[in-house]
């Protein structure tokens, strides 16, 4: 059995990790870390775990935890892992970090967008960006996984094949995305109160959302050149889900015509036909968050607008599963040579 510890086990992503790992036949959770609830029964924090988890919340002592487990999941605020990570810890245990501390390779970009000093930049270079569908082989060899965010996972996977194959003009790429409120975390914030969110929809982080450089960096690797996008997230009154709608100008083929539906579909199939968790939908069936809720799937489709010469790409996922905890488990499975879908054979919930 793989022994796992979770730091931040009482946040929404941490709680989702608990739910998934309880159903994983190869894993035993040894440490439920939560700075806010030390010495409290985990099931008293999340009553859905009553008679399922008989454990007390512990602290966030990574040095001690590393001696007791094989893998640590850190579902913590930005800056936590970077402030405590050492070579001694990494030499003893594998870490899957759900924060942004090691996602961005340029430390100056990280500090500019997150407004905090990075305390362990020496580990940035070796950290593997844990988007399994793109970096699977690198993940298998890693000690430190930078688990991608929810907006970024959806945005990148939706556009990646077309960027990689040069079918769109990346200078025209616009990402318009919507998220359920669980993406903002469990902390008490006035903006997330029921009366503030219900019957309301709003854009936030306009032109400065901190997931922007993460999307740009990863799509830049695909394009082989710097990519700059307009990314606008919106908060919608639902618990779970991300829907990204992306727009870009299509590059014409050598004969001067636009790529056809069949051309674009062939490219998506080239990259995703063998991917368990990426579903490219039939023609004119467009992703909905309800179709992926509670699962590790990403649903993707597209529509060519011949009138404007643009393509509209759409992707949907559950922000707490494929956008956080499910992706972390997928990375763990790769790290330990397990079946990649182990513990993630989750049928989407409907309604």
Structure tokens at 101: 């501390």
* Cα–Cα distance for residue pair 273/94, rounded to 1 Å: 30
Whether 150 sits among the annotated catalytic residues: the reply is yes
CA distance 76 to 101: 10
* Secondary structure letter of residue 281 according to DSSP: P
Q: Are 304 and 332 in contact (CB under 8 A)?
A: no
In angstroms, rounded to a whole number, what is the distance separating the alpha carbons of residues 205 and 65?
36
Angle CA 265–270–271, to nearest 5: 105
Q: How far is CA 342 from CA 25, 153, 239, 246, in A?
A: 8, 20, 25, 31
CA dist., res. 284 & res. 145, Å (int) = 36
Tally Cβ neighbours within 10 Å of residue 269. Answer: 12
Catalytic residues: 150
């Amino acid at each position: 059995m793989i022994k796992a510890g979770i730091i931040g086990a009482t946040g929404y992503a941490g709680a989702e990790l608990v739910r998934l790992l309880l159903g994983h036949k190869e894993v035993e959770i040894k440490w439920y870390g939560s700075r806010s609830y030390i010495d409290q029964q985990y099931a008293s924090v999340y009553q859905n775990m009553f008679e399922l988890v008989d454990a007390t919340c512990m602290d966030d002592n990574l040095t001690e935890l590393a001696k007791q487990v094989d893998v640590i999941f850190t579902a913590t605020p930005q800056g936590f892992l970077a402030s405590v990570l050492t070579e001694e810890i990494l030499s003893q245990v594998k870490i899957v970090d759900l924060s942004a501390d090691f996602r961005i390779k340029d430390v100056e970009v990280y500090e500019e967008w997150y407004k905090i000093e990075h305390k362990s930049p020496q580990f940035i270079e070796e950290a593997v960006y844990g988007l399994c569908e793109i970096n699977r082989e690198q993940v298998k060899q890693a000690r430190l996984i930078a688990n991608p965010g929810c907006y970024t996972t959806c945005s990148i996977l939706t556009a990646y094949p077309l960027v990689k194959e040069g079918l769109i003009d990346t200078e025209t790429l616009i990402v318009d995305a919507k998220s359920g409120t669980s993406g903002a975390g469990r902390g008490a914030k006035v903006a997330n109160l029921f009366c503030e969110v219900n019957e309301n929809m709003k854009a936030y982080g306009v032109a400065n959302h901190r997931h922007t450089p993460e999307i740009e960096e990863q799509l830049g690797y695909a394009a082989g050149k710097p990519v700059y996008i307009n990314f606008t997230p919106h908060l919608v009154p639902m618990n779970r889900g991300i829907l990204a709608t992306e727009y870009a100008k299509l590059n014409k083929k050598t004969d001067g015509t636009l790529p056809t539906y069949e051309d674009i579909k062939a490219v998506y199939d080239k990259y995703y036909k063998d991917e368990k968790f990426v579903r490219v939908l039939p023609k004119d069936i467009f992703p909905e968050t309800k179709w992926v809720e509670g699962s590790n799937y990403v649903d993707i489709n597209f529509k060519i607008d011949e009138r404007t010469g643009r393509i509209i790409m759409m992707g949907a996922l559950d922000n707490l599963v494929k956008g956080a905890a499910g992706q972390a488990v997928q990375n763990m499975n790769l790290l330990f040579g397990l079946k990649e879908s182990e513990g993630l054979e989750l049928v989407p919930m409907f309604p």
